[in-house]
Chains A and B, each alone.
Chain A
């Protein structure tokens, strides 16, 4: 077949499509709905997972952590006797290489509350996180989750507390608490802190236990020579975690061999295990959506094509050969498919814009029960371009295929039989 003929047929298919507007629109609509639904549900499910992951990375683990090997192995016990020697140097080295770095020290303490600020007096074991406010803000997003008061200032005797913890002990902005802890070597020390801010971040784990104090101030009390116990690094969203870990290991190799550079995934194995399990559930939901979508699309297309058996017969009776018909109808199906996909994408993208930027707010809090998913009250969508492209392409392919298959069916019939059907 010559090129001209081919183009002619394709143009004809296109015109046909517009001619039978209603049919086209209905078919395209069903394709659009199917595709849009699939993409939206996928977006939400991945969004939930992503959000959970973000909650972990933005508020708990950052992307990469550097610790002394001995500290890492016993990291549950937060032993400040294993701080990183030469932290300042490490931090500046990494910063020179373009990373955002935040040094921290965490330790166990007993928090005492009481007096005029509180209704009740008591004490509770707490993990205290000492941060340098400025760099910490570049690596973590805790400061943007402050709901009352403000973030701590450098060199201050101030503290920021998670909302659940605040509720547990009935703390408010302006309340004073006292921490009893042991410095490096084992000596007891007390520090009084004023609560200047309360955070309410989407990570309930953090909300339940967070107590932030200033790094420099606490280092004086701990007598740790301003060394950090943990150095956190955050990467840009498109970096490859493992590659960056290797890069950092190279940069630091000249410095110290007893350091361990760990990615956030390794730090949160428990989260990942559960995420994997939940993924199974998401997959099931997607499969169901897929079934409905496929059925919807195929049925509509079947109907459209089936109804045109007569048309096929008429055209054949006018002398068109099989090839002609194949191309014509396949092309038309493809065009309709394309239209459907485009409309579907428009719907999906607009819905996604809303979901990603605004999201669905549930207004419920997750407190005592930790089901592993770090997620709180708002569900956001996510942009999964690969998924969108793949499903769109699949859709197109599917439509074209259908067109071809059922044209075949139509061609098999005797012209006279076909003409008789109504």
Chain B
């Protein structure tokens, strides 16, 4: 259409103006894309934490464990040897982490200090999650050795260092007590919680020996391929439901509620940004139209229809905003991808936090976001062009020409 050509030319004729308007759209689009990537990164970080450290995507426990959870019921356990072959060959299960979780006391300087302990099979755990990421200092314990990892919070509070030996006391599965001495070989970051909680990880086999649990575990965390809910259902029918409690992440309502809450907060913030970005776009576009009222008058004086006029302006608006949105989205995506690689370290700028926790967020770009933002930006600009230009088109030609 000829109109498009005119629109095109108009855009390039007034480079400065187009640039201003376009850049506003670009910046708006860019920040929104980045923000969404950031939010998704934060959400993912939280979910990853939960999946890796507490719940897995699906968790298998003894049927009655939850009911007596406050009593640390080690005897309500799962026979690992029985279930392992089933898990290994299951096509939907990507990785699994058998664990013994128990509350313990650390006997240091003749005082007892509470700690939550996890018996972890480090060889299997390496396939379950990236263990190097959690290690802050030192190395991972070797399976079958009397070694353990402690959380940074624990190390800090009790002045523990790598190489220290500590004695762990706990009630065993036989409801007697036992103690074991282990050496600290590493300090680790066990997810968000570990900033506050005293947590230790020791080799599963040692925990089982210490707690008199033979080849048993209190829970198994799973990572699956495909839809979690479907796989959960499948597992429930395949495994004997009478013995096990199988829950997916969504069903652990406590945990999920929290995630949902935090997500709501993030989305609210995103909405703010959307609004802000939109106002910028609207503002500049409207401004453009009004600056060109004289042009409008001239064109109308030359015989152009209102509708044609508005369409022309609309087209111009769309062209500018498309380019602007495109640039913005591309830059925003680029920045997101960049930080996805290197991560944003929130604690770098803060001095005085002597714990050196690295809370690194990796923005995550999904394919929908750039597209949605692009479409949205163009639509908003189009609307922002349309309304004032329609209004402007209705002004008396004489008035328009007089407008300065």
Binding site for B on A (CB under 8 A): 22-23, 26-27, 29-30, 33-34, 37, 40-41, 122, 124, 168, 270, 273-274, 276-281, 283-285, 288-289, 291-293, 295-296, 299-300, 302-304, 306-307, 310-311, 360, 362, 364-372, 377, 379, 422
Contact = CB atoms under 8 A, between A and B. Distances in A.
Contacts of A274: 195-196
A292 B349 contact: no
A28 B404 CA distance: 19
B193 A288 contact: no
A296 B279 CA distance: 8
Contacts of A34: 276, 280
Contact of A270 (B35, B195, B260): B195
A30 B346 contact: no
A299 B290 contact: no
Given A168-B70, A292-B273, A280 B265 contact: no
Contact of B276 (A168, A293, A299, A310): A293
Contact of A370 (B193, B272, B275): B193
A350 to B, nearest CB: 16
Contacts of A299: 20-21, 23-24, 280, 283-284
Given A30-B280, A360-B268, A366 B27 contact: no
Given A360-B268, A372-B196, 18 more contacts: A29-B279, A40-B272, A270-B195, A273-B357, A276-B350, A276-B352, A295-B24, A295-B28, A296-B28, A303-B20, A365-B257, A366-B257, A366-B261, A367-B254, A369-B193, A370-B196, A370-B197, A371-B192
B31 A291 contact: yes
B217 to A, nearest CB: 21
Contact of A300 (B193, B257, B275, B287): B287
B353 interface: yes
Contacts of A360: 268
The 8 tightest CB contacts between A and B, nearest first, are A296-B280, A280-B346, A364-B261, A30-B283, A295-B27, A33-B279, A299-B24, A307-B291
B395 to A, nearest CB: 11
Nearest to B34: A288
B221 to A, nearest CB: 16
- The secondary-structure label for the interface of chain A is helix
Given A276-B352, A292-B31, A306-B16, A284 B276 contact: no
A364 B260 contact: yes
A292 B257 contact: no
Contact of A280 (B34, B283, B350): B350
A302 B20 contact: yes
A300 B258 CA distance: 41
Interface in B119-176: 153
Given A295-B280, A303-B287, A371 B346 contact: no
Contact of B193 (A29, A303, A371): A371
Interface in B1-37: 16-17, 20-21, 23-24, 27-28, 31, 34-35
B355 interface: yes
A296 B71 contact: no
A372 B46 CA distance: 14
Contacts of A372: 192, 195-196
B359 interface: yes
B303 to A, nearest CB: 19
A33 B17 contact: no
Contacts of B21: 299, 303
Given A296-B279, A299-B280, A368 B255 contact: yes
A279 B70 CA distance: 34
A279 B359 CA distance: 12
A273 B280 contact: no
B283 A379 contact: no
Given A41-B272, A311-B404, A283 B254 contact: no
Contacts of A26: 283, 286-287, 290
Interface of B: 16-17, 20-21, 23-24, 27-28, 31, 34-35, 38, 42, 54, 70-71, 153, 192-193, 195-197, 254-255, 257-258, 260-261, 264-265, 268-269, 272-273, 275-277, 279-280, 283-284, 286-288, 290-291, 294-295, 344, 346-350, 352-353, 355, 357, 359, 361, 404
A277 B350 contact: yes
Contacts of A293: 276
Contacts of A306: 16-17, 20
User: Which of A310, A360, A369, A379 has most B Cβ within 10 Å?
Assistant: A369
A40 B273 CA distance: 11
A362 B344 CA distance: 28
A48 B146 CA distance: 44
Nearest to B16: A306
Contacts of A307: 291
A30 B196 contact: no
B344 to A, nearest CB: 7
A283 B20 CA distance: 27
A368 B286 CA distance: 51
A357 B196 CA distance: 31
Contact of A273 (B27, B261, B287, B353): B353
B347 A369 contact: no
Contact of A277 (B35, B272, B280, B357): B357
Contacts of A270: 153, 195-196
A51 to B, nearest CB: 12
Contact of B359 (A23, A277, A289, A311): A277
A306 B20 CA distance: 10
A37 B279 CA distance: 10
A370 B254 CA distance: 11
Given A280-B347, A371-B192, A364 B283 contact: no
Contact of A285 (B258, B269, B280, B347): B269
A293 B192 CA distance: 33
A360 B268 CA distance: 10
Contacts of B54: 369
A292 B27 contact: yes
Nearest to B346: A280
Nearest to A289: B276
A422 B10 CA distance: 12
